[in-house]
Amino acid sequence: MELDTAPAKDNERDTGTWREWVKFAIIAALIVIPFRRYVAQPFVVEGASMDPTFHNSEYLVVDELTYHFKTPERGSVLIFRYPKDPSKYFIKRVIGLPGETVRIDRGRVTVVNQEYPEGFVLDEPYVKLTKDDSGVYTLESGEYFVMGDNRAGSADSRMWGSVPEANIIGRPIIRLWPFAILPGNQDEKN
């Protein structure tokens, strides 16, 4: 008498397929979860504070690794935790670095530091909507002064103070639409 082994082969094939899917899912999770948690993460722009550089609902991929190895530079765009409520994320441009004094006189921004004790006026081609405000802000070690590119419509360091270095998440490295690599750089045409 001959035995039919076909059903057993189908079961083995189904079990092998499920094992492969489970292995694939585990490997994908081991790669994707740490990548999203520690290297790059998606963010969506909310509001108009960075117009015209970034617009409401734009999707950004944020590099969370770079600022573990170097400090942000003046003019770079940051994603950070809002100092008054760390559960919220903000996007703004770095204006003042640790230890500097930022003077705003009728919208004109001057930075005073060791290299320029008399101060220098920032060239800000990314600012299209200005605000005629004034103030003086002195930064301590590990603090950054940030402002939105839409000065007329931005809640930023002028209102709620500096951003501690510990609150910095990263920098946008990709904007999906309109597509751009390293969006927000001073060299980028907006």
- What pLDDT, in 10s, does the model give residues 28-43? 666 656 555 655 678 8
The identity of residue 11, as a single letter, is N
Enter the DSSP assignment of 183.
T
User: How many whole angstroms from its chain centre is CA 80?
Assistant: 6
Identify which has the larger pLDDT, 25 or 139. 139
CATH number of the domain at 67, please. Answer: 2.10.109.10
Given pLDDT bands bounded at 50, 70 and 90, which one contains residue 18? confident
Domain that holds residue 102: 45-181
Tell me, yes or no, whether 129 and 153 share the same domain.
Answer: yes
Q: How far does the chain reach from its first CA to its final CA, in angstroms? A: 80
> Which pLDDT belongs to residue 167?
97
Interval 152-174 mean pLDDT: 96
Tell me, yes or no, whether 36 and 50 share the same domain.
Answer: no
Q: Is the pTM of this model over 0.85?
A: no
Given pLDDT bands bounded at 50, 70 and 90, which one contains residue 190? very low
Tell me, yes or no, whether 36 and 51 share the same domain.
Answer: no
Q: Which residues are tagged catalytic?
A: 49, 92
- What pLDDT, in 10s, does the model give residues 48-106? 999 999 999 999 989 999 998 999 999 999 999 999 999 999 999 999 999 999 999 99
Query: Would 187 be classed as within a structural domain?
Result: no
Name residue, tokens 């559960």: 87
Enter the DSSP assignment of 72.
P
